[in-house]
Structure 1
Amino acid sequence: MSQWEAILKLTGVFQEQALAVYSQEIVPVEVRQYLAQWIESQDWKLAARDLSLATVLFQNLFENLDTHYSRFTETHEVVQAYSIRNFKLIVQSQYQENPQLLAELIRALLQKEKQILMESQDTQSQSGQQVQLPMETGQQNNIEQRVNEAKERVTSLHKEVKFLEDQQETFDFRYKTCQVQITAHPQDPGLRKKYSELQQQLNELDKKRREVIDLVKQLLGLCETLLGFLQQEISNWFERQRLLCIGADTDTSLKHLEIWVTKTEEVFFHLRRILGNLGELSNQVTYEGDPLKIDPPNLQKRLLEMLHCLLQRSFVVCKQPIMTFPCKRPLVLKTSTQFSVGVRFLVNSKELRNNNMKISYSIDKDPPDIKGYRRFNLLGPQDKTLEYVQGEGLAVEYKHLNLKEQRAGGGGKGSKGSSDGSLSVMEELHIITLKTEFKYEGVKLDLEATTLPFVVISNIIQFARAWASVLWFNLLSSNPKDVTFFSKPPAASWNLIADALSWQFSFCTKRGLNEDQLKMLGKKLCGAVPNEHSVVMWSKFSKESMPKVSFTFWEWFDAILTLVKAHLEKIWSDGYVMGFVSRSTEDALLKTMKQGTFLLRFSESLRDGGITCSWVDHQLDGTYLIRSVEPYTKKELGNIPLIEIIRNYQLLAEENIPENPLKYLYPNIPKDDAFGKYYEESCEATMEYQKYMKRRLIMVSERNVDDSQSSMASGTPQYFSEDHEMLPHDLTEYSQTDSNLDDVIDRMTMDNVFINPGTDPMLSNLSTIPNEVSLETSIDYRVPENFDLF
């Protein structure tokens, strides 16, 4: 069943939610209906990142629309034809220049549909009903078909065995009756005929036994294939979980797997009971060459091995170790800080819900022989039992675990490298093992599940580097239990790293990285524009400082990610921050734009992350300047939002005439059109402040006298680098009743008021007020230190 067919089967509030998805007419519901199969068969997620694929899908979409339009026109279905034509015109006008955006919108619609179906399943499962969700892959369809076929076959086999039991009882009765008659009347001439009939019945019984054994063998063959599919699907789920841990947008729901595993387990136990019954039949009636004496023991052994394998793979860590505070990234744990981990048993049959399967845990069960490898005590509650949790199956979660290092010898090794053969703290991996015992219908088995390797830190400032290790391991390790991975870490292809870097942003915000942004990052890691053969070394990624700075690529990248999440999330998600763009690219983009066109890019020289505005300033002689302001860091952005800086930013010329040089966001969006919707939010945030003081904080830069007079010949830009020529900025304040600083200066001059720059560093930019202003009065505009502006 396709996803759209499942949507159409919804009722009530879930149907309303599904229809509401299409209320904005990104894709009309009629188009979704007509192109359902084609839409669901395309890789929209990849197309959203790959321009060439997005372009191909865009053209294929048009071809499909044309086909349906022609069909509706020929059959005089005017309404349907109009809907198709109108949608085609809208798509052509809005997305032809950006097919990737259309791909992203369609991907989001499909994801919303899937979420509604999942919620519907949760609700119906709570009421004891079943809902069929659409399969996503061919393998999942194969599993679904084989599970259903296995259940049908084992039910049919059960009936055949029941018939065999009846047939054997009839034969047994007649045989025993004949034996009595022989004892009573040994010379009875009719006995020969009865013997002949008994032999015929025995032959039929033997034939039926062999048929049943053949059916068992066929069913076991189907079960082996099914087990192979389930093992692969569980392995795929583990891989998706690993990628989810490092930010990938992937589905790690266990609902389908739990249903399949539970049904398969029921088939296995049912078949095991059938084989037991066949053994009992052989004990009641047997003969030379009896197939029930030869085959069932071997079939039982074969089935038990399959059952053990299924049960062992069905005990999984569903929630990887994660600290509840202060970070939401998993697999980095701080000593003496609580964290949680969850385990789940995918066999969720009603008979097992009260089976009292107790869970125990340990850390580093098989520690590696590595010099300096740290040992930890894992502290927390013990003896928890698997419990049925609505919507989560048989599961248990430990929410209050913590680690304490076992101190020995000369203390810890700190974060030094591995020149002595040891690993640094940020490269040292640890594993938690969770165990339980399964007992049911004579089957007894120890089950074990392990977490993904995690890094243990002692100070939160180590978190970023530890996360880089988690990222690298889960991208590249072929063995999820390899705690010695960083003894010789492999290189990564640039394509893998590009995906991972984009995931970091899409996980924290609503927007990942585009091709241009990734190209800039790729040049930093690969030394040139990366291609499909480019590779990145672990040391280059997280251990060695980048050229001309004293910090690594990852430290810089992660600091920018933190800055975006804390201060720039909305404008980043809306696509207004170009961010990762080199100075040369910045110059090429801005030089042909109209006066005052600006863009926002991240600083390349600050360890803790910064963002700067760069704009084009065309000169009278035909040359141009690319001007930039010193990067704003978390310190400045904590005082005033970037949108307010852009809104009120002032550049002072030598005459103290203020102006806002930021006019158009690249390529040609008026500043207020781009950021106007955020102004109201910032005004609401300062409403309480305005009740007491009608002041506004703004950022101001002073333009050097030479700036307006110096330019390079032949249109060559004069570029202000971050290191020493970038325009400095200063934080100051002015009365909100005044429209700009020019009004402030004029009014103060008329009132004989002099603002003493020495009273507050924030006002030092106004020190160039004309000397003729009176020095008789001094006003201190400083904001009280304990006053919270926002």
Structure 2
Amino acid sequence: MAQWSRISQLIQYLPDETINDFYPTVTFAIEVRHFLSEWIEKQRWEDFALENVEQEANARALLDEIIMLLQSSSQQNANVVDKMKLMQISKNMSMFQHQPLQFAVMVRDTLRKERVLLRAMPQVNNPQQHQQYITRESAFPSMQEVDHLVLKVLEVQDLRQNIHQVQEELNWERQNYESLQGTMDTTVSEVTRLQNHIQQLEYNFNTMATRFQLLRECVDCLDQCQTQLLSRLKAWRGEQYKATIGHPFNDNLNVLQMWCEQLLGVNGKLRQELMLIVDPIPELQERLGQLLQLLIQSSLVVDKQPPQVIKTQSKFSTTVRYLLGEKVAPGKPVVVRAQIINELQARSLNITPSDNVGEVINNTAILEHNTTSKSTCATFRNMSIKKIKRADRKGSESVTEEKFALLFSTEITITGCDTAYRIQIISLPVVVIVHGSQDNNALATIIWDCAFSEPDRLPFVVPERVPWKLMCSTLNSKFTSEVPTHHNLDHYNQHFLAQKIFDKPDFNDDFSNMMVSWTQFNKEVLPGRLFTFWQWFEGVIDLTKKHLRTYWSDGLIFGFIGKQHLHLILKERPNGTFLLRFSDSEIGGITIAYVGAAEMGEHKQIIKNIQPFTKRDLDIRSLGDRIRDISDITFLYPDFPKHDVFKMYYSEPQTSTSGGYIPVSLHTKVGMETGSLATNVTSVAHHTESHHNAAIYQVPQFQQFTPQEAITREQMETSDSPAVEFSPDPAVFSDEATGDMDLVLNSLLNFP
């Protein structure tokens, strides 16, 4: 594809300043590039340089021809605006009549910039992808800075070639001058001409001594661009970590790989230029060597992180990518080795393969190049931690608070480099557990580390306390990303969460700058409860993403609200007004609070709370169907008829028989027991074949029971011994029970 046809596809996506830099309106307008593109690309512009004065005649000929072609295009153009524009441009270009070489060099540099841009752009045909690239490009080192660096290197190369040519010509003329001095018939004019030419060549040669300064400028520019690039690599890793708590993350590494390859190429060209200098410059050689080593060692990244909570004896995968993979010297395969390291080792990274704190199975992988994606990766598909060696714990620290990391290391030889480089990278922090019951607390450790660690912290130091506003933002990000939903936690939800974690149910002021501790987050149980704040909050996330996502996204669930606030907003509402809130006393439960009729002898309404529905309850019967079943609730707060807002969540009634059996359906009924406690009971309807006169039998409520824990919570927190998993939810053998439903149905069918 011709160069201009490719560039023209990108023009509309480039910033105006970039376009103006490429095609100055007065000197080389974009219209010239467009209308004369084919002719321009056929000429030998690379032959021109300001020092090559003997090329001035050729440059003037090209200038005259381009002016003539512009005038011809103007006369043939039917568009009056284009006609006048081209005529004006042809007049403007006449300004180069006395400086034709400057004109030719300007066109040469423009074409070079275009080639640099095309090399930098991903090879895609979708304009939308180009737009995404341009948008993302703003986050990387300035394209103009790198373009400027590439052009300066080309200038250094041109200058070196010109110096060589001038040196050869000077040697030749000096030889001629010496031979003429011994000849009797040599005229004075010839000698004078030769002397003048030699002086001019010597002057040109001396002015080209600026090459040393230009080389120094190139190294400085390379240093700046590489510093920006490495900063962006660090930021990419930070964004990758923040994705743990729901922050947006673009994991595409192609642009970063492009910058790495480009800077490696510039470094190699500058090292070649230094080697071609008669008198070496040790300072620049040393700087380029250091930049090269830093770039090679910084180009190894963990593309796909391992799970941040890893259970021993369980398989997991991870991928390491080398951004200079196409530059790796062919021959011996590059083997990447993984080992697990503790916090102390992560601080030094002066580790040998024998310094193991754990045994990792399937811990080697080959660095392989994918020609389609142009990525070079080592993929560990079936890794497993067989055993782990714990550090001595202090005080109340548990095993789920101890952080490790995977260290990936290998030896790389880059084409054109004699030295093999030892490179390594560590993964994000991980917590190693031995049982699924530790998963929730281990995740809390990771979330606190991810949300509140500083970018350049000493591994893996985190603050003990953080402002509530940061914690609140983290909870919102985690909730909306896990559910997933665009419906954020509102001000009322956030205020209730603060009241809960600080145990200040009556505090109505701003919590933003109050400091919340790790202990409050997931060390101490909530007052009057058997679980921590995080365990309770994570239970809400799990319930919502599995059963309530659409309800929450449609704004039908009020969510987090305290009882004081609940009574305040419902006390003046008519009977049957209800709202949905997450249970304050049970992990992973949602309850219905509604305005009920006054009890006998009472004159005012009362706020009733139906026993919370858990995941197991909603597995049996959906929330929408349960709301339809309960006749005592009629209006969703503030005044929406429930059948209008929840009808889309109702299940279709079962109307056909299957295998000759009488169909059976489950219904939710709110009953009143001793002490006027609002509870859930199950009603099962036996329908006749014609589905008329259904007889309703109420199932007596079975006694609640609490599962016996195999080990205490403290033992589970601090032990590596496998434990019996249990659910913190009490099993209620009613309509939300997970017991044998056949037993319930059989007891009903045998009812006398």
1:615 to 594, 598, 603: 594
CA contact (8 A) 1:144 1:260 kept: no
Query: 1:346 aligned to 2:308?
Result: no
CA contact (8 A) 1:377 1:406 kept: yes
Alignment of 1:468-479 (within 5 A): 468-478=444-454
Question: 223-232 vs 611-620, which deviates more?
Answer: 611-620
Query: 1:631 aligned to 2:607?
Result: no
CA contact (8 A) 2:325 2:376 kept: yes
1:360 to 331, 334, 337: 337
Distance 1:141 1:335, change over 3 A: closer
Q: Hey, what does 2:296 align to over in structure 1?
A: 311
CA contact (8 A) 2:327 2:414 kept: no
Q: Hey, what does 1:143 align to over in structure 2?
A: 142
Q: Hey, what does 1:717 align to over in structure 2?
A: none
Q: Hey, what does 2:357 align to over in structure 1?
A: 375
Distance 1:354 1:534, change over 3 A: farther
- How far apart are 1:482 and its partner, in Å? 4.3
**Cα-to-partner distance string for 1:666-691 (whole Å, 9 max, x where unaligned):** 222221222211224x669x989798
Instruction: Give the TM-score normalised by structure 2.
Output: 0.68
Alignment of 1:347-426 (within 5 A): 347=324, 349=326, 356-364=333-341, 367-368=344-345, 375-380=357-362, 382-388=364-370, 390-391=372-373, 393-406=375-388, 418-419=394-395, 423-426=397-400
- How far apart are 1:704 and its partner, in Å? 5.5
- How far apart are 1:203 and its partner, in Å? 4.4
CA distance in 1, matches of 2:244, 2:701: 52
1:332 to 309, 312, 327: 309
- How far apart are 1:131 and its partner, in Å? 3.3
Q: Hey, what does 2:154 align to over in structure 1?
A: 155
Q: How many residues align?
A: 583
CA contact (8 A) 2:313 2:384 kept: yes
Structure 2 residue identity aligned to 1:522 = A
Q: Hey, what does 2:206 align to over in structure 1?
A: 206
- How far apart are 1:273 and its partner, in Å? 2.4
- How far apart are 1:8 and its partner, in Å? 8.0
Query: 1:447 aligned to 2:409?
Result: no
Stretches of structure 1 lacking an aligned partner (at least 5 in a row): 11-120, 283-292, 323-330, 650-659, 708-725, 749-753, 766-779
**Cα-to-partner distance string for 1:140-175 (whole Å, 9 max, x where unaligned):** 375222122222332333222222222223234445
Alignment of 1:69-80 (within 5 A): none
CA distance in 1, matches of 2:423, 2:356: 27
Distance 1:532 1:402, change over 3 A: same
- How far apart are 1:593 and its partner, in Å? 2.6
Q: Hey, what does 2:738 align to over in structure 1?
A: none
SS at match of 1:364: strand
Q: Hey, what does 1:696 align to over in structure 2?
A: 665
CA distance in 2, matches of 1:604, 1:146: 57
Distance 1:315 1:161, change over 3 A: same
Distance 1:238 1:180, change over 3 A: farther
SS at match of 1:446: strand
Distance 1:519 1:267, change over 3 A: same
CA distance in 2, matches of 1:369, 1:230: 24
Q: Hey, what does 1:581 align to over in structure 2?
A: 561
Query: 1:783 aligned to 2:752?
Result: no
2:622 to 622, 632, 641: 641
CA contact (8 A) 1:476 1:490 kept: no
CA distance in 1, matches of 2:422, 2:640: 64
**Cα-to-partner distance string for 1:483-512 (whole Å, 9 max, x where unaligned):** 5537xx421221221121112221222244
CA distance in 1, matches of 2:660, 2:254: 54
Alignment of 1:416-495 (within 5 A): 418-419=394-395, 423-436=397-410, 437-442=412-417, 444=419, 445-478=421-454, 482-483=458-459, 485=461, 489-495=463-469
Q: Hey, what does 2:685 align to over in structure 1?
A: 734
Q: Hey, what does 1:677 align to over in structure 2?
A: 648
CA contact (8 A) 2:579 2:637 kept: yes
CA distance in 1, matches of 2:236, 2:678: 52
CA distance in 2, matches of 1:598, 1:669: 10
Structure 2 residue identity aligned to 1:359 = V
Q: Alpha carbon RMSD of aligned pairs, Å?
A: 4.3
CA distance in 1, matches of 2:152, 2:472: 48
Distance 1:617 1:449, change over 3 A: same
- How far apart are 1:728 and its partner, in Å? 1.2
CA contact (8 A) 1:262 1:348 kept: no
CA contact (8 A) 2:337 2:365 kept: yes
- How far apart are 1:353 and its partner, in Å? 8.8
CA distance in 2, matches of 1:730, 1:389: 63
**Cα-to-partner distance string for 1:541-565 (whole Å, 9 max, x where unaligned):** 0000111112111111112211222
Distance 1:438 1:133, change over 3 A: farther
Structure 2 residue identity aligned to 1:520 = F
Query: 1:496 aligned to 2:473?
Result: no
CA contact (8 A) 2:304 2:320 kept: yes
CA distance in 2, matches of 1:516, 1:669: 20
CA contact (8 A) 1:139 1:229 kept: no
CA distance in 2, matches of 1:402, 1:501: 31
- How far apart are 1:332 and its partner, in Å? 0.6
Distance 1:757 1:230, change over 3 A: closer
Structure 1 residue identity aligned to 2:145 = R
Alignment of 1:239-254 (within 5 A): 239-254=238-253
Q: Hey, what does 2:634 align to over in structure 1?
A: 663
Query: 1:524 aligned to 2:504?
Result: no
Distance 1:455 1:381, change over 3 A: closer
**Cα-to-partner distance string for 1:227-260 (whole Å, 9 max, x where unaligned):** 2221222222121111002322233332332233
Q: Hey, what does 1:54 align to over in structure 2?
A: none
Instruction: Give the TM-score normalised by structure 1.
Output: 0.65
CA contact (8 A) 1:247 1:504 kept: yes
Q: Hey, what does 2:284 align to over in structure 1?
A: 299
Distance 1:259 1:491, change over 3 A: same
CA distance in 1, matches of 2:656, 2:530: 42
CA distance in 2, matches of 1:758, 1:478: 54
Distance 1:561 1:133, change over 3 A: closer
1:536 to 516, 525, 528: 516
Alignment of 1:203-282 (within 5 A): 203-208=203-208, 210-277=209-276, 279=277, 282=278
CA contact (8 A) 2:312 2:385 kept: yes
- How far apart are 1:334 and its partner, in Å? 0.5
Stretches of structure 2 lacking an aligned partner (at least 5 in a row): 1-8, 15-119, 348-354, 705-731, 736-741
- How far apart are 1:382 and its partner, in Å? 2.1
CA distance in 2, matches of 1:756, 1:598: 26
CA contact (8 A) 2:400 2:432 kept: yes
CA contact (8 A) 1:143 1:260 kept: no
SS at match of 2:286: helix
CA contact (8 A) 1:362 1:434 kept: yes
- How far apart are 1:180 and its partner, in Å? 8.0
Q: Hey, what does 1:170 align to over in structure 2?
A: 169
CA distance in 1, matches of 2:605, 2:513: 39
Structure 1 residue identity aligned to 2:289 = L
Structure 1 residue identity aligned to 2:633 = L
Structure 2 residue identity aligned to 1:672 = H
CA distance in 2, matches of 1:632, 1:307: 61
**Cα-to-partner distance string for 1:252-299 (whole Å, 9 max, x where unaligned):** 33233223333222222222223233x2xx2xxxxxxxxxx25x3322
